[in-house]
Amino acid sequence: MKSKLLLSGIVLFIALSNIYSQKQNFPFSANLKVSEEIKGQFIENGRLYLFLSKNANAEPRTQTWPSPTNKTYIFAKNMEGYQPDGILEIQNDKSWISTATWTLDQVPAGEYYVQILWDQDLNESRIDAPGNLISETQRIVINKPTKVDLFLNQSIAKREIKSHDLAKVVDIKSEILSAWWNKPIQLKASVLLPHGYDNNKAYAIRYNVAGYGGRYTRINYMLNSENFMNWWDSAEAPQVITVFLDGEGPFGDSYQMDSENSGPYGEALIKEFIPYIESKYRGTDESKTRFVDGCSTGGWVSLGLQLYYPDFFNGVYSYSPDAIEFENYQLINIYKDENAFVNEYGYSRPVMRSTNGEPMLSLKEFIQYENVLGASNSYLNSGGQFSAHTALYSPKGENDLPQHLFDPMTGIIDSVVAEHWKKYDFKIHAQKNWQELGPKIQGKIFIWMGDMDNFYLNPATRTFADFLEETENPKSDAEIVFSPMEGHCSEYSHKVVLEKIQQRVNNMETK
């Protein structure tokens, strides 16, 4: 009996010790040096990021998307006059803003992967910009006060696309945007030509818009897919040119639309970029064989381009679009609600869920990630989703930043700014302009949405669909499909969209 009691006591002691050690917190600090080989690339003003990640399978600096499974903690602060010749001591102080609920003096015990990023790029809105400086990832175990040496010794490489006879890059200076910004602004895209491409032939063309922040280099996913390329480079594949538009803009994704903060991206696309691409590759500028598609952000942008430039495109394939009307801006009614973070019942408002309805992340947590990524210590210039939305929908504010719809710390909604957002509320736009718009978009609208969209985007699409059902003169013939128990972009397929476009072209040719 005594031996059993002794054994039980030992087991209990070990268990309590493990629990105690797991709850312990220790100070973390580091000595940061800039390696000799990159000192010549170093710019003294920038934003310093420290990443402490639990994920062993990815570089910590790439783990900036907030999610329940992303156990990466980000610390950031702006620095001016940082000299690369000395040693910078990284330790806890009040200048850091963080996604963590603890400070660098109180890091929970455990295994981490640590990395430093120095954001010195002035051309791109996100921290993965070529020319930003990074350290190698270092594994550490925090079970006591810990200090490590870190070295900024790498530069993020330039973007490139895989070499292929059917793949091209377009990179031009936009005179429209350059005049607006008073500095050179480039527009980029990649082009995937069809099998047997003949530059003397006229082709249908598809403008693909990426999910949030997708770059023109996403063509590499197709080029690296053996199954897709075997199909594409065959006689069975559609004879359609695909243009992968670039998602970069001054505040994150440009959304390819005119903005009081980002500038006339829509005008530049329609009047400059597309005419240039089509004069070089397409062999025609006929709008009847010009289409646009995308999912998520790409779903919103593609539908927006069709609605705001109805004569320019002859069909949209919009999957899981961002909120297309703002009585349902995800779960927020921006015209009536007082707070973005807390709903009318006093509960923290979720921004993400599983397909069985389980909330996974709150909007306040999501916004804090963007606050940390923004040089203003707010989401207004984070380069993230809400940064881009605010830049597109809001009027210009102070310090060359957009006016926020809701306070980045409290979530309180500015009703005056909300009124300004109506310009890009698709339901309001269609209602106001239906007499002229309706006939121009007949036969051109296809929208798909999962009824368990992971970001609560289906209510806005439902409301827009209900409006279209009630239209008269003309009665809308838009095809809007809701799939039960499907999540965000789960049925989106490049191959399916290309086949839909080819079928549409074939139908036009037989009429």
Task: Work out the average pLDDT over 69-79.
Answer: 94
> Is 432's pLDDT higher than 80?
yes
Please give the model's pTM, rounded to 2 decimal places: 0.94
Percent above pLDDT 70 for the chain: 95
Residue 23's pLDDT is 67
Task: Work out the average pLDDT over 498-510.
Answer: 94
pLDDT in tens, 323-372: 999 999 999 999 999 999 999 999 999 999 999 999 999 999 999 999 99
Residue 202's pLDDT is 96
pLDDT in tens, 2-44: 444 444 544 444 444 444 445 699 999 999 999 999 999 999 9
Cβ neighbour number for residue 272 with a 10 Å cutoff = 18
Angstrom distance (rounded) from CA 118 to CA 48: 5
Average pLDDT of the chain is 94
Query: With contact defined as beta carbons under 8 Å apart, do 234 and 178 qualify?
Result: no
CA angle 438, 439, 444 (to 5 degrees): 85
Angstrom distance (rounded) from CA 262 to CA 272: 17
Say yes or no: domain 167-325+425-510 is CATH 3.40.50.1820.
Answer: yes
Task: Work out the average pLDDT over 117-136.
Answer: 96
Angstrom distance (rounded) from CA 177 to CA 455: 32
Task: Work out the average pLDDT over 85-114.
Answer: 96
